[in-house]
Copies of this chain bind each other. A is one copy, B any other.
Amino acid sequence: MKRTAMLVLLAAMPALAADPAPVAYPEGYRNWTHVKSMVINPGHPLYDAFGGIHHLYANRKAREGYRTGKFPGGAVIVFDLLEAKSADNTVQEGARKVVGVMHKDSTKWQSTDGWGCEGFKGDSKTERAVGKNAATACHACHTQQKDKDFVFSTYRK
């Protein structure tokens, strides 16, 4: 087989076995639409992973997904997790723990039903908590929500 033909074949192969494409840091998400918030306290089964106060943000395409139940390509959802500081009968936001991202692109993330995911540690835009492990670290749990396009949150009016 000629080298050119081989390269064409390789390029056409499905990427299922390869590492997933990296998910970009969601620049500007603090100006996106705030979907909802929640505090997870010690004693909750998800406390180790998601303890604190979190806010969900949606870009314009993700807003469409929350409205219709079907998230189009380019939809990005951010899970912004901060420490929850309890004092003087208040709960206030503390340091950022992680910026979680779900990004819909059925071509890039075919093996995880069209969703790429990542967690950017603290205030870092480069330090990744998920990397190649999206299938186990994110999707394994989100498959419960298959009927809702793999998204747990709903838009709070």
Contact = CB atoms under 8 A, between A and B. Distances in A.
Interface of A: 30-31, 33-34, 36-44, 47, 53, 55, 57, 63, 82, 88-93, 96, 123, 156-157
Contact of A44 (B38, B39, B88): B88
A43 B93 contact: no
Copies in the complex: 2
A37 B89 contact: no
Given A47-B89, A93-B156, A57 B34 contact: yes
- For the residues of A in contact with B, the DSSP-based class is strand
B43 A89 contact: yes
Contact of A93 (B36, B63, B91): B36
Contact of A34 (B34, B38, B63): B34
A25 to B, nearest CB: 15
A157 B156 CA distance: 22
A121 B55 CA distance: 24
26 contacts: A30-B33, A30-B34, A30-B157, A34-B34, A34-B57, A36-B93, A37-B37, A37-B53, A38-B90, A38-B91, A39-B39, A39-B53, A39-B91, A39-B92, A40-B90, A41-B89, A41-B90, A42-B89, A43-B89, A44-B88, A44-B89, A44-B90, A82-B156, A91-B91, A93-B156, A96-B157
